[in-house]
Amino acid sequence: MQELILKIMDNPTASLAIIGNLIIIESLLSVDNAAVLATMVMDLPQKDRDKALKYGIWGAYIFRGLAMIFAAFLLGFWWLKPLGGMYLLWLVVEQFKSKLGYGERGSIIFKIISLFAIMMLIHNDGTINVIALWCLRGFAFTYIAYLMYSFIKLKEDEEDDGEINKSNNAVYKFFFNKIGIFWSTVILVEIMDMAFSIDNVFAAVAFTDNIILVCTGVFIGILAMRFIAQWFVKLMEKYRFLETAAFIVIAILGVKLLLSIYEQFYPETGLSVFLKSHTADITISILTVAIFFVPILTSVLLNFPKKHSIEA
């Protein structure tokens, strides 16, 4: 712990840049998470809707608290990083499947190919428990089989338009007839909370291996859900392109986590040395800040990209 603190004190500029980026990305993720949760409860009566959202907020606090513990666990197993990077790229692919026109089928194909490739690249180098590795592969190939089944069963008229449709969710269907619409919705909201907490941890770990900074970022994510997110909602209403910018950043972080495979097996190469350096942290921090704020600056000065205006 003392060594981690010393690293922060020895590199205050890089540490502040990382914290600044974590504030931005965690806040934007919280906005996106809140929007999804709000969509999921819209079919409930108003009083039940408010109650379900309250459960959702408390669930988010609890799971993000647990995510801080998970962050320390994540940093202890290098092979979880590329899996986390793949997961972040899955989020990006899901986000753009309607805008770019490849749809649910294209999303499934990407997941199958990427998961298969990761499983082929992760091999036993003496740092992975053999049983754990085969369990991981068993789970991965079972999921690939499920994805292939989903691809075959998917009909043209079932292509996802990008909106959240909880009625098609297997968990929701299972509980609906047993405990009713309200508690089925609450359970689904809590599952989404857990998934969102994992998103935040992977995004934070992509910026730094320093567990203190990671936990700071996750904690900021908790605060962001209540305070900073409201400000970002207003900002995103004015600058709609910020959502796209956020997912571009998530894609960059996903690629950085994926490169941990290369770092593991080729630690002495120039690229691996660079990726582990504070220079890489600063470079990624500057890049992510630029992706967010350069478009805002050009929008204000040059009206490109254009601000969102409400049509009459």
Express each pLDDT in 108-134 by its tens digit. Answer: 999 999 999 999 988 777 777 788 888
pLDDT value at 144 more than 80: yes
Global confidence as pTM: 0.72
SS3 content of the chain, % helix, strand, coil (to 5): 80, 0, 20
164-175 pLDDT, tens digit each: 555 555 556 666
* Position 94, amino acid: E
Residue 109: domain span: 99-161
Q: Which residue has the tokens 């970022």?
A: 217
Whether residue 76 is contained in a domain is answered as: yes
**236 in any annotated domain:** yes
- Same domain, yes or no: 51 and 107: no
Say how far apart CA 130 and CA 126 lie, in whole Å.
9
**Can you give the pLDDT at residue 106?**
93
Do 69 and 113 belong to one domain?
no
Looking at the structure, tell me whether residues 82 and 218 fall in a common domain: yes
- Find where tokens 């590199």 sit: 11
Same domain, 192 and 286: yes
Number of folded domains in the chain?
A: 2
Confidence of residue 260 (pLDDT cuts 50, 70, 90): confident
CA dihedral (152, 161, 24, 238) in degrees, to 10, reads 170
Please give the structure tokens belonging to residue 191: 């599952």
